[in-house]
Structure 1
């Protein structure tokens, strides 16, 4: 006999209700919101620090590769390399990675390590208790056997 194939809708519902899909969706939403914070830090802190040594906008840093680089946008002539925008994106990435690591990953890994240590200590204590109870029961058994043995001698 043939097994009933799940419908497309049931498969889709199963896919959506998996934990990792929901976790991924939450991560994307938080990441999008976090982007605004990082952009504010870059625009409000990093760019002024760079501006102390040059211009406040990283976008204006460029080099001319070929020909006279005059004008901006579509009317520009020559070949211009906009390395300032790459530098800005790299700084944004590094700031994002640092904040995620130091504020989310590192505390979570320390928390999980503490939880694992507590669990291991609890399991170790439970084994000690079980061993101790077993030893006590053996001692009681040995004492009862010894009493029986001494009682048989009297009869």
Structure 2
């Protein structure tokens, strides 16, 4: 079997197509959640914390160097922890929503509970097991 035909077989399997669809939907979902966090959640959290904009939170490790005319020669060195906090909140929201989705999916997909075995079948099984001994 040639490499091209093997590749066609590999790509045409349901798993690969399902994975590709999942990746595309996941990327789109990530953009939606990032937009939600950037545009709605973080401004509300910043407002509750006194008007702080999280993406601007940083610690100055080294101040900017300026010349006599006030022009910046060397930019300031900043530790931007606000962007990290925002990304961490993005992750937590995405993980929580995926958890809820999978929980609902598993509940819908759960197999129906087995019906009780009729008593005559149970008795026949007991007889069979006793005869095996």
Q: Do they superpose with TM above 0.5?
A: yes
Once superposed, what is the RMSD of the aligned Cα atoms? Answer: 2.9
* Runs of 4+ with deviation above 3 angstroms: 54-57
Aligned counterpart, 1:79? 77
**Counterpart Cα distance in 2 of 1:130 and 1:18:** 45
Deviation of the 1:38 alpha carbon: 0.4
**Counterpart Cα distance in 1 of 2:53 and 2:65:** 18
Aligned counterpart, 1:93? 91
Which runs of 5 or more residues in structure 2 are unaligned?
A: 67-71, 125-133
Q: Give the aligned length.
A: 119
Aligned counterpart, 1:31? 26
Which runs of 5 or more residues in structure 1 are unaligned?
A: 1-5, 135-155
* 109 and 12 in structure 1: CA distance in 2 versus 1, 3 angstrom threshold: same
Instruction: State the Cα deviation string for residues 92-121 of structure 1 (Å, max 9, x = none).
Output: 11111111111x1101122233x1xx2x51
Aligned counterpart for 1:107 among listed residues 101, 104, 107: 104
Structure 1 length as normaliser, TM-score?
0.64
Contact 2:64–2:73 (8 Å) recurs in 1: no
Task: Flag the structure with more relative contact order, 1 or 2, with Cα contacts below 8 A and sequence separation at least 6.
Answer: 2
Aligned counterpart, 1:57? 53
Structure 2 length as normaliser, TM-score?
0.73
